[in-house]
Amino acid sequence: MKKGLKFIGVLGLASVLFYACDQKSTENQTATATESAAGSGDYKIAYVYTDSVINKYDYFIKKSEELTEKGKKFEGDLQSRARGFEQEVSNFQQSGGNMTPNQQRAKQEELMKKEQNLVTYRDNLMQELSVDEANLYNEVYEKVQTYLKGYAEAEGLDLVLSYTRGGSVWYGKESLDVTKSVIDGLNKEYGQAPADTAK
């Protein structure tokens, strides 16, 4: 019985040692693989000033202007409706004394409903503009990302970083800055796009 327990104990110890050795061997292989991947060659890295790329991209400039015009139209329409409502309130205040209490109550309820409709209309316009702006940024980021993929392949770059104030990149050599080249390429590509694609 004691011999059996001893044998089981020796087997257990052997398996623990074997597992520990195997684990260490796996860790060494992983470390070696990582070192060889990192040391297999120099990576070619560049960066772009993200704000500059977006703000100087002709497509973004054009679409932003269209969005601003839409906002001005909405604002003009809203102001026109607000003036009409204010005039109606002013007329009621002047002529309300000539109405019966029931007529006054009915008119007040009507004006309250119109005011609520005006507020809802304003909120809907603001939400529409907000959605349009978010869609524009998404579209521009997609276009820039697609362009950068092709640009990186053409230039033999392994990595293109986004350089923004307060971002994760604190310093980069000026020779790695490809912002102007990317802006020029994006604008050239946009200028050559057919009219229906540019819309």
For each of the domains in the chain, give its residue range(s) and CATH number, in order of start: 41-198 (3.30.910.20)
CB atoms inside a 10 Å sphere around CB 110: 12
Length, in residues, of the chain: 199
| pLDDT reading at 13 higher than 50 | no
Residue 3 has a pLDDT of 45
d(CA 33, CA 27): 10
Q: How confident is the model over 87-142, as pLDDT tens digits? A: 999 998 888 788 888 988 999 999 999 999 999 999 999 999 999 999 999 999 99
pLDDT band at 195 (very low <50, low <70, confident <90, very high): low
Residue 182 has a pLDDT of 95
